[in-house]
Amino acid sequence: MKKVLIVTAATGAGHNSVADSVSAALRQLGTGLLEADILDWRALGGLSWTGQTSRLYACTIVHLPILWGLVYRLSDTSTFCRVFRRLMRKTWRCRTGHMLRTHAPDLVICVHPLSTQVVAEALRETGSSAPLATVVTDLAVAHATWIAPQVSLYLVPTEEVRMSLIARGVNSQQIRLIGLPIGARFWAGEPDSGEARRQLGLTEEAFTLLLAGGGEGAGAMLSAAEAISKARLPVQLIIACGRNGRLRRKLDRRSLSVANRVLGFGDNMPKVMKAADVVVSKAGALTTGEAIATGRPIVYLRPLPGQETTNARFACSHGLAHMVSSPSELVRTMERWLADPSEMRQLVAGAEDYRKHWTHAATRIAVVAMEMLGLAENGRPSTGDCQR
**CA distances, 81 to each of 78, 114, 237 (Å):** 5, 9, 42
List helix spans (H) across 201-284: 221-231, 245-253, 269-275
pTM, full prediction: 0.89
Contact (Cβ atoms closer than 8 angstroms) between residue 310 and residue 332: no
Q: Which domains does the chain have, with CATH numbers?
A: 2-182+360-372 (3.40.50.2000), 187-356 (3.40.50.2000)
Contact (Cβ atoms closer than 8 angstroms) between residue 302 and residue 270: no
Contact (Cβ atoms closer than 8 angstroms) between residue 100 and residue 129: no
The model's pLDDT over 115-164, given as tens digits with 9 standing for 90+, comes to 898 888 888 878 888 999 999 999 999 999 999 999 999 999 999 999 99
Query: Does residue 381 have a pLDDT over 60?
Result: no
Nearest-angstrom CA–CA distance, 3 and 6: 10
**CA distances, 82 to each of 98, 113, 142, 144, 351 (Å):** 22, 13, 17, 10, 38
**End-to-end Cα spacing for the chain:** 34
Percent of the chain, pLDDT > 70? 88
* Nearest one of 373, 25, 375, 362 to 178, comparing CA atoms: 362
Please give the pLDDT value at position 12. Answer: 62
The model's pLDDT over 315-347, given as tens digits with 9 standing for 90+, comes to 999 999 999 999 999 999 999 999 999 999 999
Q: Lowest-pLDDT range, 25-29, 58-62, 328-332?
A: 58-62
**CA distances, 95 to each of 119, 265, 317, 345 (Å):** 11, 30, 44, 51
H/E element, 151: strand 151-156
DSSP helix/strand/coil, 197: helix
Query: Does residue 2 have a pLDDT over 90?
Result: yes
List helix spans (H) across 177-326: 184-187, 193-199, 221-231, 245-253, 269-275, 285-293, 307-317
Residue 141 backbone dihedrals phi, psi, to 5 degrees? -135, 135
* Nearest one of 199, 211, 368, 338 to 280, comparing CA atoms: 211
Query: Does residue 280 have a pLDDT over 50?
Result: yes
Q: Which residues contact 119 (CB under 8 A, 6 or more apart)?
A: 7, 41, 96, 108, 110, 132, 150
Please give the pLDDT value at position 61. Answer: 66
**CA distances, 128 to each of 44, 123, 146, 298, 325 (Å):** 18, 5, 20, 43, 48
Q: How confident is the model at residue 290 (pLDDT cuts 50, 70, 90)?
A: very high
Query: Does residue 186 have a pLDDT over 70?
Result: yes
> Residue 1's beta-bridge partner residues?
none
Please give the pLDDT value at position 124. Answer: 83
Average pLDDT over residues 41-48: 57
The model's pLDDT over 72-129, given as tens digits with 9 standing for 90+, comes to 888 899 898 888 877 766 665 556 667 777 888 999 999 999 889 888 888 887 888 8
Average pLDDT over residues 349-361: 94
Q: Lowest-pLDDT range, 314-318, 352-356, 374-378?
A: 374-378
